Structure 1
Amino acid sequence: MADRAAVLADLAAEGDALDAVVAHLEDTAWRTPTPAEGWTVADSISHLEWTDRQTLRALTDPDGFAAAVAAFADRVDTIVDDEARAGAATEPAGLLHRWRTGRTAVSEALAAVRDDERIPWFGPPMKASSMATARLMETWAHGIDVTDALGLPPTASDRLRHVAHLGVRTRDFAFLQRGQTPPAEPFRVELTSPGGDVWSWGPEDAAQRVTGPALDFCLRVTRRRHRADLALAATGAEADRWLDLAQAFAGPPGAEREPREGA
């Protein structure tokens, strides 16, 4: 995978791509419902802004972050929705400004972290490159919710390699998240990038295989599309089961998206 500077450059570009979608929306358009149940465009941007604030706190004030996590403990099931809606209730121009400021601060702080330093988080601590990749994945995933809400095509660039890499690396997590034992054997994943290259992970002779467009794989591991809507092929029972469970993000998987009409 790319080094940290490259991941941070792609993180900034992903944020800019989503920014370009929402920057000139009328205030009423910010209230457009997204496919994420109960969430609007404003909720999606508010969530990204809130998560950036928590990331910056973890980077600059680990003790304060630990205290905040402890304070969230009594509303762990509602904190994400509560904070997204609180930020979304403010005026869109102010929300947009806070999001821009926050994501810039996060990128600058991540660039300054030592290579061997682990950043505290809600789950296991992460190194800076992993944190940057997670922020990119979440920015892109919520960007899909926004573009879907506005009737726009999904953002698809070779930055998706970071999302795909995270999706592959979280294979075992997806099984464990549902109380299932991860497969012991390795998988081969071959994806066609938006630019036409083939990205691959795992041994070439693996019996368990997943192939298809990188965009479709990323939509699946972020659970933004039902599997029936995607051109992904699984060879082997375990690979097939993985595509049902795949999840690149922490926390509960959320409700499965319904298949699109005609799928």
Structure 2
Amino acid sequence: MKYYQSLIALSIMEKIISSIRNEALMLEGLFNGLDELTWKAETSFKSWSPEIILSHLLYFDRMTIYSLNDLDKFNEEATFLFKTFASETNSLTRAQIVKDRLLIDSRSSMIAEWKASNQEMTNIFFNVEPDQRCQWFGPDMSARMFMVARYMETWSHSQAIYELLDEPRHYTDDIEHIVDIGVKTFKWSFRNRKLDVPEIIPYIELISPTGETWSFNEINNEESIIGLASDFCHVVTQNRNIKDTELEVNGKISEHWMSIAQCFAGEPEDPPEQGERN
């Protein structure tokens, strides 16, 4: 039984890590195609440049490694982050301070360091049990959810690069990880804003990029969200305003949730205004 459970556990981590590596390859292609001006240009995500976005991904991939392999370093960097966030409230300023912390000046060096850290992170977590607890800034997380969160953040931040380049995005069924975390953070989205959590949980029916149907919760004709999985992912990661998607949202609870949905940890964030990112 223990051997059988280990095989199942390995397949779970293998699937998530494969998705991270797939996304990293696509993002690497985007970054390699940027010239120096575009590398430092403002994107539609809080005016972060591609340079800032990649430094952010690199820094937190490294923090993920430290959480397992070097707790002293993790705690040192966590102290730095808490002090930075306490003294600075502007998202871009915070991100700039994190970038400067890396002491990497050139585009090629930043890309190379990110590739190396992302590969190291996925290699380490490939052999970690999915239920193993990992230290983070708030409550600790399972290794599985840790990797889902890294995939989600990489996928989410990539969108700003696609928008900057006005390049269409090819979606894959890897986004099932984001759908899953988006569904599971229904209650969190309300609690994080100190709002009462609705007793009724909306029914969700989504079409995957390959045409599969993904459904969640009990069928409810009065409270439901139906449409493309990619649209749902953009909403819960706050890349899109719900009104800029083709999701069919029925019911006041569903409408409220989609207006504040947040599948990532941290302070409450607001989605972009209608028409701001599409």
**TM-score (norm: length of structure 2):** 0.87
Q: Which runs of 5+ in 1 are unaligned?
A: none
| Paired AA for residue 18 in structure 1 | L
1:251 paired with 2:277, answer no
In structure 1, distance between residues paired with 2:84 and 2:66: 19
Could you tell me whether the CA contact under 8 Å between 1:43 and 1:87 is conserved in 2?
no
The answer to whether the 8 Å contact 2:208/2:228 transfers is yes
- Cα distance, 1:225 vs structure 2: 1.1
Helix, strand or coil for the counterpart of 2:152? helix
- What is the aligned-residue identity percentage? 27
Which residue among 24, 39, 45 is the counterpart of 2:48? Answer: 39
Deviates more, 1:231-240 or 1:87-96: 87-96
1:85 Cα deviation (Å)?
Answer: 5.5
CA distance in 2: counterparts of 1:160 and 1:88, whole angstroms: 33
Q: In structure 1, how many angstroms separate the alpha carbons of the residues matched to 2:12 and 2:159?
A: 25
1:183 corresponds to which letter in structure 2?
P
**Distance in 2 between residues matched to 1:85 and 1:156, nearest whole Å:** 33
- Comparing 13-22 with 56-65, greater Cα deviation is found at 56-65
Q: Does 1:51 align with 2:60?
A: yes
**What is the match of residue 83 of structure 1?**
98
Which residue of the partner structure matches residue 224 of structure 1?
Answer: 239
CA apart distance, 1:205: 4.2
Matching of residue 146 in structure 1 with residue 161 in structure 2: yes
1:206-221 matches, within 5 Å, as 207-221=222-236
| Aligned partner of residue 108 in structure 1, secondary structure | helix
Question: Is this contact kept in 2: 1:32–1:150, CA < 8 A?
Answer: no
In the alignment, which of 177, 202, 211 is matched to residue 196 of structure 1? 211
- For residues 79-113 of structure 1, the C-alpha deviation after alignment (integer angstroms, 9 at most, x for no partner) is 44421365597110000000000100110111122
SS of structure 1 residue aligned to 2:133 = coil
Q: Distance in 2 between matches of 1:254 and 1:237?
A: 20
Asked if the contact 1:148–1:154 (Cα under 8 Å) also holds between the matched residues in 2, the reply is no
Out of 79, 85, 103, the residue aligned to residue 70 of structure 1 is: 79
> What is the letter of the counterpart of residue 152 of structure 1?
E
Task: Please tell me whether the aligned partners of residues 87 and 95 of structure 1 are also in contact (alpha carbons under 8 angstroms).
Answer: no
Matched, 1:27 2:36: yes
Q: Where do 4+ consecutive residues of structure 1 move more than 6 Å?
A: none
SS in 2 for 1:100: helix
Structure 2's unaligned 5+ residue stretches are 1-10, 89-93
One-letter code aligned to 1:256: P
The alignment's TM-score, normalised by the length of structure 1, stands at: 0.92
3-state DSSP of counterpart to 2:141: coil
The number of residues matched between the two structures is 263
Q: 1:115 to 1:254 in 2, by over 3 A?
A: closer
Question: SS state of the match for residue 197, structure 2?
Answer: coil
